[in-house]
Amino acid sequence: MSEYNYEEAQESLNYLAPYINEVPEIAIVSGSGLGDIADSIANKIIIDVKNVPNWPISTAPGHSGKIILGQISGENIIMLQGRVHYYEGYSMKAVTFPTRVLGMMGVKILIATNASGAINKSFKPGEIIAVRDHINFMGANPLMGADEPRWNSRFPDMSNAYYPGFIEILENFGLRTGVYAAFMGPSFETPAEVKMAGILGADLAGMSTIPEVLAANAMDMKICVLSCVANMAAGIEHDKILTEAEVLTQMKKSASKLADIIIRLIEKL
């Protein structure tokens, strides 16, 4: 059984190395139903994660489990088409294992996407929000456990985990910003939990991303998170039942808009 440690990450990296002509400085991690961003990648090399040693396999809908190397706007990128989640039963070490491999590869910028429910009543389904901060309600942290100085210092600062320079660019694009709260899942949040998160300052609720942000920040990557509002969070619209199908449908509608934002952001970089 995999321990998702440094040595196993090195094995994964050794497998991927022959596919990499130039180390990509930019990585994109796509969330539920948002894998269509891959259509914007030129000169694609596609790797099935099932063939990569030690790589955790996603069981979530809308996560195809592919690694794609190529270029966007002339920049070398690597895209993880899908992620694994804590709610799938994976450990936090497993959830952040791909991020660790990216950091060891030499990736400097992580652009992550996700689907979310809006707590902020001014946000609307289909809107893309630039995450400026987060609240971790998942009850765990991937940096827990034995110290691994080859990956990061034990107590990384989180003051600017979401790189301010990216936030400024995205605001200039017309995007609004918000605070993302991650719950463990897989059940949607209760109306009371949503109300609590709103009181504490959260604008969005979801079930992913924060573990990767914690690991990437610890490895000194510059991070950008784009959250696609799939629906209003539980209790915001009274008697509205939340469904997985609704999330995937809305994400499919938002995929082209999100791809355009990511392309424009990479051009600015």
pLDDT (tens digit per residue) in 6-17: 999 999 999 999
Token representation of residue 160? 């600017």
Q: What pLDDT shows up at residue 244?
A: 83
Residue 125 burial (C-beta neighbours within 10 Å; 0-12, 13-18, 19+): middle
156 neighbors 217 (Cβ within 8 angstroms): yes
Q: How far apart are the first and last CA of the chain?
A: 40
pLDDT at residue 138, as a whole number: 97
Q: 204-249, pLDDT tens digit by residue?
A: 999 999 999 999 999 999 999 999 999 999 988 877 788 888 888 8
Quick one: CA dihedral 13, 19, 21, 24, positive or negative? negative
pTM of the model: 0.94
Nearest to 209 by CA among 80, 29, 69, 49: 29
Residue 206 DSSP SS3? strand
Q: Angle, to 10 degrees, between the axis of helix 97-105 and the axis of helix 210-218?
A: 30
Residue owning tokens 């970089």? 269
Q: Tell the burial category of 109 from Cβ atoms under 10 Å away from its Cβ (0-12, 13-18, 19+).
A: buried
Q: 35 falls in which pLDDT band (50, 70, 90)?
A: low
Indicate the DSSP class of residue 162.
Answer: B
Element (DSSP H or E) covering residue 165: helix 164-172
Tokens of 239: 């008697």
pLDDT, position 253: 84
The pLDDT value recorded for residue 87 is 94
Q: Which of 97, 37, 42 is nearest to 62 (CA)?
A: 37
| Among candidate residues 236, 17, 218, 206, the one with its CA nearest the CA of residue 105 | 17
